[in-house]
Amino acid sequence: MRSLWDRARGDRLLLRLLPGAQPLLCAVFLIVARVVATAAGDSPATPLYALAYLAGGTGSAMAAWTAVRRGRVDVNLLMLLAAAGAASLGEWSEGGILLFLFSLSNAMEFYAVGRTRRAIRALMELRPAEALVRRDGRDVLVPAEDLRPGDILIVRPAERLSADGVVVAGTSSIDQSPITGESIPVDATPGSFVFAGTINERGSLQVKVTKRPEDTTLARIIALVEQAQAAQPPSQRIIDRFGQVYALLVIVGAAVTYGAFLLLGFAPDVAFYRAITLLVVASPCAVVVATPAAVLSAIANAARRGVLFKGGVHLERLAEVDTVVFDKTGTLTVGKPAVTDVWPLNGDALALLSFAGALEQRSEHALAEAVIRACQARGLTLPEPESFEAVPGRGVRGVIQGQTARVGSEQFLRDEGLPIPGDAQRRLAILRQEGKTPILVADDRLIGILAVADTVRQQAMAVVEALRNLGVKRLVMLTGDHRQVAETVGHRLGLDDVRAELLPVEKAHVVEALRLDGVVAMVGDGVNDAPALAVADVAMETADVVLMADDLTRLPYAIALSREARRVIRQNLAFAATVILGLITLTFALGLRLALGVVGHEGSTVVVILNGLRLLGIRPHRGHPASA
């Protein structure tokens, strides 16, 4: 983390000093040279023009030399050749204007694209430099990078957390929006996991550090964003390869243009002027920057809102998705059983739930935990059972306030010799048809039925609707759960296809088959879904794209953002190509002045950059265009 911070500070220093200084110095020398030339002639002004060339062209010269040493030709070389050609014709002023505008365009590009890098610096600044730690009975202030797992972190109200950890004492509300994007603070109580960079709002907390500074969620976010911004998407790699060939063609084309105009009877200086103007207007600056301006902005935007793209390739690929495959448990559903139905025979639902909970509080079964959570949610006080006995695979029995109690399956009650009335049997059939697990509650007779199921996430329905609105053609659910349970969930959400009772390898085979008909995104937790995630075109949550907040609503946002980025890239490329073709036509047809060619060329580059930066402002749920 310290090296990242140091590098960021160094980058900021370069941002402030170098790019802006070049066009500024070039402009100063040009103005002075122009004044001197007007007052005393061109000869005294020539050294000043040379200084303007040096100021405006040094950066381009270094970049061009580096490219040439690697066997490449880029737009920097084209600009330098054009400026040198103008100087050779005595057009020092126009050559200087070319270098001034080119260096100004580069500076604007550097500053503008640097805005997308601020996501990293902003994330770095979330972590406090120091932390208050309890050691040997004393509270001591230590550098945050010295925190180690096991340290007890003291976090006071309004302070940011310095490390990931688990709350061991105190209660509070934590603003997790800087990390997860959640707008509503979450409650923090003993046992709650908390993240570095989040804000403790009110109470004092003691947090046991669980991760080293370099392993925290915040550090992982920074690393992923850096990795994503460094990786070139396929379209950019194609453009870079095209740029090499194109730059050579421009140089050759300028030479051919010079010869052609000589053959047509033009004076050598006019022919040469047209040739160097062609070098300028045909240069692919705007084309080259069209993709990174959009991709970097989109990645930075997504990172601020809890979506991490691990590279531009995944951003571009997600825009093409027409099939989304979901795992069920923990993705579309909560992943924990919950009480969904309370059906008392005597009409007192709370009494039935309390009676069952009193016995289940001694059980360690997952279904018992669901019953206890339901009791707690309703504020029920549960009496302690006087005796308790678990019957493995069947249920539990005991005594509650002198009354025999039984909680378990239908077979358990039959084994206990208790009859199941006809209306209760009909209720059991309905619950099973709905994919729910019934729990029968009895004393000396059946007194009611509870139903437990893995409930659909509250946000799942909205996510499915949003994906439909985005034009996703197929929504598929894969699960190892029972078919009846899976079909109930799929029907409720309106999914196109449900595949149940699948092993992890079978999920992968289904995804491979779906890929034959389109681009597939797989959404899963990466545990038993790992094989399916591996074969998907885009894997969400744990592979190519990470949803930091475990919030499915970020899925349609990520797809919408990727499609908007694709649309902006296409806009940029079309605009850049149109401007280049227009300027080339004017050069041949009307003898476009070099200065006007420079303005048109560099102006198109700035427009492309600014258009890409629009992606920084896109927000979820704004209804912005998402299809292209």
Report the C-alpha gap between 323 and 331 in whole angstroms: 16
Residue 544 falls in the annotated catalytic set: no
Buried b (16+ CB within 10 A) or exposed e, 243-262: beebbeebbebbeebbeebe
Of 162, 470, 161, nearest to 173 by C-alpha is: 161
What are the backbone dihedrals phi and psi of residue 162, each rounded to the nearest 5 degrees, phi first? -95, -10
| CA distance linking residue 506 with residue 54, whole number of Å | 65
Q: Residue 594: is it exposed, middle or buried by C-beta count within 10 angstroms (0-12/13-18/19+)?
A: buried
Query: With contact defined as beta carbons under 8 Å apart, do 399 and 387 qualify?
Result: yes
**Helix, coil or strand: residue 211:** coil
Is residue 93 within 8 A of residue 34, CB to CB? The reply is yes
Cβ count near 536 (within 10 Å):
26
Inter-residue contact 306 to 551 (CB < 8 Å): yes
The radius of gyration of the chain from alpha carbons, rounded to an integer in Å, stands at 34
In the chain, the amino acid numbered 95 is G
Residue type, 229: Q
The answer to whether residues 472 and 324 touch, using CB atoms and an 8 Å cutoff, is yes
Q: What residue type is 112 in one-letter code?
A: A
Phi, psi of 618 (to 5 degrees): -70, 135
Is residue 74 helix, strand or coil? coil
Residue whose structure tokens are 């309703």: 378
> How big, in percent rounded to 5, are the helix, strand and coil portions of the chain?
55, 20, 25
Q: Which residue among the candidates 327, 481, 529, 551 is catalytic per the annotation?
A: 327
Q: Show which residues are catalytic.
A: 327
